[in-house]
Chain A
Amino acid sequence: MYGQARTRGDNVAKVLLVDDDQAFLDATSELLSMLGHSVVVASSVAEAQEVASGRVFDHVILDLILPDGSGLHILDDLENGDTTNVTLVTGHPSVKSVVKDLYGPNISYLIKPIDLKQLQGLLDSPVAKKPRAEGRSGLHFGHLVGESASMKKLYEMIERVAETKANVMLMGESGVGKEVVAGAIHYASQPEGALVPANCGAFARDLISSELFGHEKGAFTGASHRKAGVFELAHKGTLFLDEITEMPLEQQPNLLRVLETQKLTRLGGTSAIDVDCRVVSATNRTEVQLAEENCLREDLYFRLAVFPIYIPPLRQRLEDIPLLVEHFLADFNRQYQDDIGVDQAAIERLQSYDWPGNVRELRHAVHRAYIMADRDSKTLVLPDDLSSPFSKTGENRMSGITVGKTVEDVERELIETTLQHLDGDKKKAADMLGISLKTLYNRLNSYAEQEER
């Protein structure tokens, strides 16, 4: 059976919780105990110093402002402070930047209102800054699952590039986990700043500059506040630009200039701001497509793809499926507080499918099978047919209609696909296409002539 590897007991964390709000303290400490962690509470700096003396904690969760002083004082007295994960409870993310200056970047945050997911996320994964011998079992760089040859190659690339400041371009089909790999690169590089993800396809066309570079108050109609762009937010960290080719061509020179000069000016601003971050960009196009489709300027490509990394599709690493399924099951078991496993027959079926939607599709399939799981035997129940309407298997692969193709291209594809399907029977093909046999011959002759030229 898979999926049994991780039980709650694996992750018992020793937590010190300090807050002056008694209701919060009561409920949160009980919640953490129910999750299997051991909790010590305190409601002031003095009390915290008293209960903490002589003990070592895995996590300290703190209110910044306590009745008798700043919560940060507690950290100064902590034994073994450098292996303790520190988390501040705050009402607003803006506190981050202030505290960073005071106490360094090695701090996580819980943003009110706090929910279970936040707490679990905090306690289940150790803070990225301190790579303890591979945090969660089997995860590479805190993010990646798989032991196949192609993944091992990927791990080596990540390790190498993490030592440099080079910009990385991630290539791979939709659903292979480009954002997860970006997270792994960030984790492996341990930069001071944050990982800031942005999807170029999700920006409104006329706001893209403002989203990337920020704007000053009054820079344009509707700019009621000064706003930092994603470049600024990723300062000293990692900026992840997904679907980079969705950025309009006329905007690309602006991005190029920032990458070249490492300086940016907010819209409506006058002074230049230094930016220092690694840009990890991603596309589901191949290098050949990038070159042919003219969706990314060549000069920008070379700036972004200093270190290109190709992420293999799932069908090229089917041997990783048991590990991936186990990983997803552990997630779902934690989320639903259950203990569902998977039998060998199901694993084999999952391995015999070609997963055009890659790991994302696998995750959805496991999620679905989890919901349908047999409650008595506690095992996943797969649907009769795994394939999705987006499946690329079979005939539809041939006749892709995409914008930019000419009517002639599509017609040719249609004719050739039909002929293939009918094993070259031209009479039947002409019938099926609704054209005369003569027309069909004419078309085929002209294709042959085109080839010769």
Chain B
Amino acid sequence: MNERVKQLIHDARNPLNNISVNAELGKLALQSNSDIERSVAALDVILQECQRCSQTLQELADTLGSESDK
């Protein structure tokens, strides 16, 4: 696997990780003190991070595509 691909896979994990942590945060905020505002904020971060992950995956697809063209 080339270095660029490795880097992109690594980069895709970070937003996924933030999605996971924010999902837990939102859940806990609702469960423990019904904090809707905090949960919505966590959901907003999740949405942003989905976009970030999607961009990274697109870059990964482009990189792999250009490689197979060679």
A interface with B by C-beta (< 8 Å): 21, 23-24, 27-28, 30-31, 34-35, 91, 112-116, 119, 337
Q: How far is the CA of A293 from the CA of B49 in the complex (A)?
A: 58
Q: Tell me whether B14 and A112 are in contact (CB under 8 A).
A: yes
CB-CB < 8 A to B27: which residues of A? 116
For chain B residues 1-57, which have a beta carbon within 8 Å of chain A?
A: 9-10, 13-14, 16-22, 24-25, 27-29, 31-32, 42, 45, 48-49
A-B contact sample (10 more), CB < 8 A, given A24-B17, A34-B28: A21-B14, A23-B49, A24-B21, A27-B25, A27-B42, A31-B25, A91-B9, A116-B24, A119-B24, A337-B28
| Cross-chain contact of A112 among B16, B28, B48 (Cβ < 8 A) | B16
Q: Tell me whether A113 and B45 are in contact (CB under 8 A).
A: no
Residue of A nearest to B29 (CB): A34
Q: Tell me whether A27 and B21 are in contact (CB under 8 A).
A: yes
Q: How far is the CA of A102 from the CA of B20 in the complex (A)?
A: 29
CB-CB < 8 A to A113: which residues of B? 13, 16-17, 19-21
- Say whether chain B's binding surface is mostly helix, strand, loop, or mixed: helix
Residue of B nearest to A22 (CB): B18
Q: Tell me whether B21 and A28 are in contact (CB under 8 A).
A: yes
Q: How far is the CA of A91 from the CA of B32 in the complex (A)?
A: 29
Q: How far is the CA of A115 from the CA of B31 in the complex (A)?
A: 16
Q: Tell me whether A24 and B18 are in contact (CB under 8 A).
A: yes
Q: Tell me whether A115 and B20 are in contact (CB under 8 A).
A: yes
Q: How far is the CA of A372 from the CA of B24 in the complex (A)?
A: 25
Q: Tell me whether B25 and A30 are in contact (CB under 8 A).
A: yes
CB-CB < 8 A to A35: which residues of B? 28
Q: How far is the CA of A24 from the CA of B16 in the complex (A)?
A: 10
| Cross-chain contact of B10 among A27, A91, A114 (Cβ < 8 A) | A91
Q: Tell me whether B18 and A21 are in contact (CB under 8 A).
A: yes
Q: How far is the CA of A30 from the CA of B27 in the complex (A)?
A: 13
A28 to chain B, nearest CB (A): 5
CB-CB < 8 A to A114: which residues of B? 17, 20-21
Q: How far is the CA of A30 from the CA of B33 in the complex (A)?
A: 14
Q: How far is the CA of A116 from the CA of B13 in the complex (A)?
A: 17
CB-CB < 8 A to A30: which residues of B? 25
| Cross-chain contact of B45 among A23, A115, A337 (Cβ < 8 A) | A23
Q: How far is the CA of A115 from the CA of B17 in the complex (A)?
A: 8
